[in-house]
Structure 1
Amino acid sequence: MCYFEQTLWSCGYWKWGNFRQQCNKEYRTGETCGLKLVYETNFIPSPCKICEQITKKDRRLRKMAEDIERWSREGNRKATIEKTQADMLGVRGQIQELWRGHEEKQRSI
């Protein structure tokens, strides 16, 4: 039950920070007992880096959808449209992975 700092973002994501105080169960200097307790929580009002990455990928996805729409109206862009649709599937998968990791971290506190 050693004490550590904790960082908490507005979206609910968090991470452990620096070691702050040793508990009385661990007698060796510089060692921790393995159990982590919160010494102090630092609140950050902005979204975490994962949320920023998700936002960037969402913008990219919207741009791709707009491009496909425009190319469909123009015609003669079938191969480009197919490639962009395949790229969109990849970006959607990346967004799902980021969300999955983000939600796991939120639930683990």
Structure 2
Amino acid sequence: MALTRLIGMCFYNQKRFSCGDWSWTNFAHRCNYEYRTGETCGMKLVNMTENENSKCRLCEKIETKFRRRSAEVDRLERWKREGATLVASMDRSQKLIMDLDKEIYVLQREREDRRTTLTR
């Protein structure tokens, strides 16, 4: 507690995922610069880092989209190899692959934006 009074900052615990991403977790120590009772100064410093073996939510979503895209590409290639006459299904499959590419791109951008910001 003496350290927080010297520095004048509020400390939070941090969770670091296996993918390198991180998030704030529990509030640890309050500084003496409270604006109102029960509020913090707004400055977040790391008190303790907990290492997590799993990946963050965004990385898990991206991996799921990649697996779904891979399965759809395999299905489309199989249909083409077998000379399927399901043109409507093949077109729908190609559209789904393009939609998944867009969703993956958006999630990757969101992940990069989160990694470049200091607060979450």
- Do the two structures share a fold, i.e. TM-score over 0.5? yes
Moved over 4 A (4+): none
Where does residue 85 of structure 1 map in the other structure? 94
Alpha-carbon deviations, 1:2-38, whole Å to 9, x = none?
1111111111111111211111222644210111111
**RMSD, aligned CA:** 1.4
| Equivalent position amino acid for 2:12 in 1 | F
Tell me: higher relative CO, structure 1 or 2? Use CA pairs within 8 A at least 6 residues apart.
1
Q: How many residues align?
A: 109
| TM-score (normalised: structure 1) | 0.90
Aligned residue runs from structure 1 range 25-44, under 5 A: 25-26=33-34, 28-44=36-52
Secondary structure (helix, strand or coil) at the match of 2:31 reads: coil
AA partner of residue 49 (structure 2): T
Task: State the Cα deviation string for residues 18-70 of structure 1 (Å, max 9, x = none).
Answer: 21111122264421011111111111122212212111111111111111111
- For structure 2, which runs of at least 5 residues remain unmatched after alignment? 1-8
Q: Which SS does the other structure have where 2:34 is aligned?
A: coil
SS at the partner of 1:98? helix
Q: Please tell me whether the aligned partners of residues 12 and 26 of structure 2 are also in contact (alpha carbons under 8 angstroms).
A: yes
Query: Normalising to structure 2: TM-score of the pair?
Result: 0.82
Partner of 2:59: 51
Instruction: Mark the runs of 5 or more structure 1 residues left unpaired by the alignment.
Output: none
